[in-house]
């Protein structure tokens, strides 16, 4: 038995069946002019699906709110042309036997005034407060919040109609849903504010409405993180008990799989235990989890923002991942930059071609390989 066999066991959740535990992590590419993914984008995803990636999560694709995007070259999940583009993408992935879901995204107040395809639009937020505590916009009304919720559900319905296999809701990294989670930016005093558990109400409404839109067969993934782009040291939950309180209602609302974003997957989440964020989440909720964070590489992704590459990690790092999957710490493993740089990364691991594994060249960010 190979030391990596656990990584190549099938996985099933609702109607989704994938042949192994490898997931392509969502990575913003900005190669979709006017929000429309073209043939080059379809080919980009198809190459990875054809090279043994078990499940592909699309780059973040924005929902039907004018303030949802800060970049007109980021794909959207709204307009007739962009939806036609996504139909071609999922068709290309299915053609080679792959499975895929869109990551539904709203950047919230990470969007600066004047950015995006609708520069005149206001940015959405929980309470109009920036990460510095400054009030820059009025707090949205209940009706406006309800429209944000329904925009996610509308996008989920499009995913179902287009033939995608699952959806992921982006609730991490300091974007809109995460801003509702974070007390620094969510200063509401209604049902969407208050304690950490109460601050999940916005996400719970999104999850419930998305479930109604996609039906019972499609799995719903939720990506969340402790850290924020606005503050890398931020934490929603300082203890396992707080994390359990935070996650419990989200699980009950209908999350099938939690995608637990860390900068480095090997780092323990709390003192006194080797479990990472995905391990704790699985233990506390009983739900399947995805681990992610510098898989296959020797440095975290923030170095990439500075134009730096990363070296390939050793075979022993993959053995550690497999051992942790085998003992049910987490279920799926998301690979980001290594797979962005090399479409055949999973296929090479499957065939034991470890000497052929490459690191990450920052130039990969400028092309669709």
Catalytic residue among 44, 45, 152, 175: 175
Q: Which residues contact 161 (CB under 8 A, 6 or more apart)?
A: none
Residue 258 near residue 245, CB atoms below 8 Å: no
User: Which string of b and e fits 48-70 if b means at least 16 CB within 10 Å?
Assistant: bbbbbbbbbbbbbbbbbbbbbbb
Positive or negative, the Cα torsion across 227, 290, 87, 206?
negative
Residue 293 near residue 261, CB atoms below 8 Å: yes
**Of the candidates 189, 326, 331, 366, the residue with the CA atom closest to the CA atom of residue 256:** 331
Residue 216 near residue 11, CB atoms below 8 Å: no
Backbone angles phi, psi at 12, to 5 degrees: -135, 135
Q: Which residues contact 281 (CB under 8 A, 6 or more apart)?
A: 243, 247, 258, 260, 287, 289
Does the active-site annotation cover 192? no
Q: How far apart (Å, rounded) are the C-alpha atoms in residues 200 and 338? A: 33
Q: Where are the alpha helices (DSSP H) in the chain?
A: 39-49, 80-95, 142-162, 176-181, 201-214, 240-253, 277-285, 302-305, 315-326, 337-341, 345-350
Q: How far apart (Å, rounded) are the C-alpha atoms in residues 90 and 101? A: 8
Q: What is the set of active-site residues?
A: 175
């Amino acid at each position: 038995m190979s030391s990596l066999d656990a990584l190549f066991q099938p996985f099933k959740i609702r109607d989704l069946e994938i042949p192994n535990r490898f997931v392509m992590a969502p990575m913003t590419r900005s190669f979709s002019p006017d929000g429309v993914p073209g043939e080059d984008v379809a080919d980009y995803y198809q190459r990875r699906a054809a090279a043994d990636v078990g499940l592909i999560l699309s780059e973040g694709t924005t929902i039907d709110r004018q303030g949802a995007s800060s970049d007109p070259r980021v794909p959207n999940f709204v307009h007739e042309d962009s939806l036609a583009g996504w139909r071609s993408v999922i068709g290309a992935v299915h053609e080679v036997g792959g499975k895929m879901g869109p990551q539904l995204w709203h950047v919230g107040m990470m969007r600066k005034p004047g950015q995006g395809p609708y520069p005149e639009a206001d940015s959405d937020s929980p309470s109009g407060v920036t990460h510095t505590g400054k009030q820059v916009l009025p707090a949205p009304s209940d009706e406006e919040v309800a429209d944000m919720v329904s925009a996610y559900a509308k996008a989920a319905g499009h995913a179902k109609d287009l033939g995608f296999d699952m959806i992921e809701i982006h609730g991490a990294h300091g974007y809109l849903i995460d801003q509702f989670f974070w007390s620094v930016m969510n200063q509401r005093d209604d049902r969407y504010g208050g304690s950490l558990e109460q601050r999940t109400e916005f996400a719970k409404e999104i999850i419930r409405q998305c479930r109604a839109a996609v039906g019972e067969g499609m799995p719903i993934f939720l990506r969340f993180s402790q850290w924020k782009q606005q503050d890398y040291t931020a934490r929603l939950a300082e203890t396992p008990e707080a994390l359990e309180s935070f996650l419990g209602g989200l699980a009950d609302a209908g999350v099938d799989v939690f995608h637990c974003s860390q900068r480095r997957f090997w780092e323990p989440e709390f003192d006194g235990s080797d479990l990472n964020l995905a391990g704790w989440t699985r233990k506390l909720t009983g739900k399947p989890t995805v681990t992610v964070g510098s898989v296959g590489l020797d440095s975290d992704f923030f170095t990439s923002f500075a134009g730096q590459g990363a070296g390939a990690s050793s075979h022993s790092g993959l053995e550690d991942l497999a051992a942790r999957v085998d003992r049910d710490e987490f279920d799926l493993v998301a690979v980001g930059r290594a797979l962005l740089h090399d479409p055949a990364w999973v296929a090479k691991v499957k065939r034991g071609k470890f000497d052929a594994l490459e690191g990450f060249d920052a130039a990969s960010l400028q092309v669709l390989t």
